[in-house]
Amino acid sequence: MARILITSGPTREYLDPVRYLSNGSSGRMGSALAWAVLAAGHEAIVVTGPVDATYPPEAEVTRVVSTEEMRDACLAAFPTCHGLIAAAAPCDYRPVEVASRKLPKNGRPLVVEFVETPDIVAALAERKESRWIVAFALETHDHHARAMDKLRRKQCELIVVNGPTAIDSPETSLDVLDKDGQVAASIAGDKIRAAEQLFALIADRLLARSAR
């Protein structure tokens, strides 16, 4: 039995007490992956941003809001896990300053300076050791080339490529790329079945290998 860390959903980076930067990630894929992991007889450790999606009661679920909180929760859980499936869509940027009060409209443009948030997968890759990493890459152009750059920089064994049509949708279309840039699988359909097929590939390529 393996312990699998799964990140799921979006994160939020607040501008003031009521406004935040985020995205439309629903957490459906993360939830479906947790069910698939459990159905295969393994343990699912889920770190999720704010979503309406439900997770299996058997899963260990940690709920977070910001990208930094997601990173910290993952860093705490990763040492006890065999691998990571990074299905979350964390914010890449946050405001330099967060206003303590709601920002009023004043008829003038609002200029906000942003900085990059921590890179969760890169932080875990630094502590990878014998563990494996499977990341998602949502791209709008040059899908495979950009995904392969991410795979190499973040020391992933596999990378799952999808597009913006998957956001907040019950269905998805995925290409799974290996370290050689080959398409290990193309998967399309509802996210429950897609997660089952994806985890079957992960189990065959990564869990079976580590058991030998």
Instruction: Give the residue-averaged pLDDT of 36-63.
Output: 98
Give the rounded distance of the alpha carbon of 186 from its chain centre.
Answer: 19
Nearest alpha carbon to residue 198 among 212, 188, 208, 211: 188
Nearest alpha carbon to residue 60 among 39, 40, 77, 82: 77
pLDDT above 90 as % of the chain: 92
pLDDT tens digits for range 57-93:
999 999 999 999 999 999 999 999 999 999 999 999 9
The domain made up of 3-95+113-211 has a fold known as Rossmann fold (3.40.50)
pLDDT tens digits for range 98-120:
999 999 999 999 999 999 999 99
Looking at 11, 23, 48, 117, which residue is catalytic? 23
* pTM of the complete model: 0.95
Pairing of strands 171-177, 158-162: antiparallel
162 labelled catalytic:
no
